[in-house]
Structure 1
Amino acid sequence: MGIEGAANQRFDTVLMGRGTYEPGLAVGVTSPYPHLTPYVFSRTLSRLDPAVEIVSTDPVAFVRDLKRRDGAGIWLCGGAHLAGQLLEEIDELIIKRYPVVIGSGIPLFRAPFLPASFTLTDSRVFNTGATLTTYSTSSTPQK
């Protein structure tokens, strides 16, 4: 694809929950983002690829430690349960929407009710009708 060896400009780390990681495993992909440092949060999976670290500890403490390290950004790739646990650690939301109705859909966050405010920082509409909307943290979640 012409990106081999190119430096990551925005993210160098990707976080996934087990449910996001497993579809790739089903087709034999053990490291779906080889250009990033991947962490998969699971208490049931064992390490299948030396490049992918399985994390069975508290996601919040783990992410807070990651944020203290040198490096580029951290991409929370997927998992409503994982996103719900990490809501207070999220600095920016980048939401892709497609003009397709598929039924009940997948929630962005699976967590107890806890309002969190974000500020719109960018919005793009593509000729397909898809949108890419970016929000940044404007305050901490209200308890």
Structure 2
Amino acid sequence: MRKLTYLVATTLDGFIAAPDGGFGDFLFEGDHMAALIEQQPDTVPTQMREPLGITGPNKSFDTVLMGRSTYQVPGGLPSPYAHLRQYVVSSTLSDTPADVEVVSGDVLAKVRELKAEDGLDIWLCGGGKLAAALLPEIDRLVLKVHPVVLGRGIPLFDGEFPAARFALVETQAFSTGVVFSTFTKS
């Protein structure tokens, strides 16, 4: 069975974006970026893959799931991850390219359906409300913790949800101060 992985950048105080949805305070240069490209190349937007030398088949994921705000981030692309099956969860979005499917119904049922299929894993790209709704189905967390404190913004998990316990399985620290921590559901 495929696994759902919530792989996301976060601040020290648990925000995945600024209040306006921006990412300007996150670090986009340094040794952690080289590690991300090597370890998780599937998470690099399609238009950046070739310039970064990313070729070949997907390594970890063949499907990406994102909330409407993550999909419609300012300056975003209409098909940001064309190398993956793309799903956007929204009850209001309707105008997307043919390779982006909108999920407007029961997202938990859709994720369970996707997990039952053959293939690589599913990447939960964001956002916080969607992560909270899908917490029962999240098998793995990969947090790219940036040495930044925002004080407010879009939380890693936003909403009401039952407590869930995860076990730390790997930590990788970089000279930039970014730390990748991987957790699996206990």
Q: Could you tell me the TM-score, scaled by structure 2's length?
A: 0.69
Higher relative contact order (CA 8 A, sep 6+): 2
Superposition CA RMSD, Å: 1.3
Deviation at 1:28, TM superposition (A): 5.8
Find out whether 1:129 has 2:177 as its counterpart: yes
Identity within the alignment, %: 52
Hey, what's the Cα distance between the residues in 1 that align with 2:177 and 2:130? 29
Give structure 1 regions of 4+ aligned residues with deviation exceeding 4 angstroms: none
Q: Tell me the SS of whatever aligns to 1:76.
A: strand
Give 1:97's aligned residue: 145
Q: Conserved in 1, the CA contact under 8 Å of 2:132 and 2:161?
A: no
1:39 corresponding residue in structure 2 = 87
Deviates more, 1:70-79 or 1:96-105: 96-105
Asked if 1:7 corresponds to 2:68, the answer is no
CA contact (8 A) 1:47 1:53 kept: no
For structure 1, the 5+ residue unaligned runs are 139-143
The correspondence of residues 77-116 of structure 1 with structure 2, limited to 5 A, is 77-116=125-164
Name 1:62's counterpart in structure 2. Answer: 110
- SS at the partner of 2:72? helix
Q: Tell me which residue corresponds to 1:119.
A: 167
* Structure 1 residues 16 and 113: alpha-carbon distance in aligned structure 2, compared to 1, 3 A threshold: closer
Are the equivalent residues in 2 in contact too, given 1:120–1:134 (CA < 8 A)?
yes
SS, match of residue 86 in structure 1? helix
Q: Following TM superposition, by how much is the alpha carbon of 1:114 offset from its aligned partner in structure 2, in angstroms?
A: 1.7
Supply the distance in 2 between the matched residues of 1:132 and 1:35 (Cα, whole angstroms): 24
Q: Secondary structure at the match of 1:60?
A: helix
Distance in 1 separating the partners of 2:124 and 2:81: 12
> What's the CA shift string for 1:22-76, capped at 9, x where partnerless?
11xx436101111111100001001321110011011100000000111100000
Partners of 1:113 and 1:69 lie apart in 2 by 26
Matches within 5 A, 1:11-22: 11-22=61-72
Gaps spanning 5+ residues in structure 2: where?
A: 1-50
Deviations 1:54-100 (A, max 9, x none): 11011100000000111100000001111111000000000011112
Q: Secondary structure at the match of 1:62?
A: helix
Deviates more, 1:55-64 or 1:96-105: 96-105
